[in-house]
Amino acid sequence: MSEPRVVTSRDNPLLVKLRKLAAEPAAYRKLGQLWVEGDHLCDAFLKRGGRPAQAVITEAAWEQPALRELARAADVVIVIPLSLMAALSTLESPAPLGFVLPWSDKGAIQPLSPTVILDRLQDAGNVGTVLRTAAAFGFTQCIALKGTAALWSGKVLRAGMGAHFGLNLVEQVAEGDLDALRSPLLGTSSHAPQALHEVDLPWPCAWVMGHEGQGMSAGLAARCVQTLRIPQPGGEESLNVGAAAAICLYESTRQRL
Domain layout of the chain by residue ranges: 5-102, 115-256
**Over 80: is that where the pLDDT of 1 sits?**
no
The CATH architecture annotation of domain 5-102 reads 2-Layer Sandwich (3.30)
**Over 90: is that where the pLDDT of 222 sits?**
yes
Report which residue type is found at 229.
Answer: R
pLDDT digits (tens, 9 = 90+) for 113-128: 999 999 999 999 999 9
Q: Which pLDDT does position 85 carry in this prediction?
A: 95
With cut-offs at 50, 70 and 90, classify the pLDDT of residue 146: very high
Q: Which pLDDT does position 233 carry in this prediction?
A: 82
3-state secondary structure the chain: CCCCEECCCCCCHHHHHHHHHHHCCCHHHHHCEEEEECHHHHHHHHHCCCCCCEEEEEHHHHCCHHHHHHHCCCCEEEEECHHHHHCCCCCCCCCCEEEEEECCCCCCCCCCCCEEEECCCCCHHHHHHHHHHHHHCCCCEEEEECCCCCCCCHHHHHHHCCHHHHCEEEEEECHHHHHHCCCCEEEECCCCCCEHHHCCCCCCCEEEECECCCECCHHHHHHEEEEEECCCCCCCCCCCHHHHHHHHHHHHHHHHC
With cut-offs at 50, 70 and 90, classify the pLDDT of residue 2: low
Q: Which pLDDT does position 190 carry in this prediction?
A: 82
Q: Which pLDDT does position 79 carry in this prediction?
A: 97
With cut-offs at 50, 70 and 90, classify the pLDDT of residue 232: confident
**Once rounded to an integer, what is the mean pLDDT over residues 35-46?**
96
**Once rounded to an integer, what is the mean pLDDT over residues 43-72?**
96
**Once rounded to an integer, what is the mean pLDDT over residues 121-143?**
97
pLDDT digits (tens, 9 = 90+) for 70-89: 999 999 999 999 999 999 98
Q: Which of 114, 183, 121 is nearest to 146 (CA)?
A: 121
Beta pairing class for 115-118 and 54-58? unpaired
pLDDT digits (tens, 9 = 90+) for 171-187: 999 999 999 999 999 99
What predicted TM-score, i.e. pTM, was given to this entire model? 0.93
With cut-offs at 50, 70 and 90, classify the pLDDT of residue 234: confident
Choose between 1 and 15: higher pLDDT. Answer: 15
- Is the separation of the CB atoms in 81 and 8 below 8 Å? yes
**Over 90: is that where the pLDDT of 235 sits?**
no
Angle at 191 between CA 186 and CA 192, to 5 degrees: 40
pLDDT digits (tens, 9 = 90+) for 95-116: 999 999 999 888 899 999 999 9
Q: Provide the CATH number for the domain formed by 115-256 in this structure.
A: 3.40.1280.10
Q: Average model confidence (pLDDT) for the chain?
A: 94
- Is the separation of the CB atoms in 142 and 116 below 8 Å? yes
CA–CA distance, 103 with 105 (Å, rounded to integer): 6
Domains 5-102 and 115-256 share a fold: no
With cut-offs at 50, 70 and 90, classify the pLDDT of residue 220: very high
For residue 43, what are the contacts with CB-CB under 8 A and spacing of at least 6? Answer: 70, 162
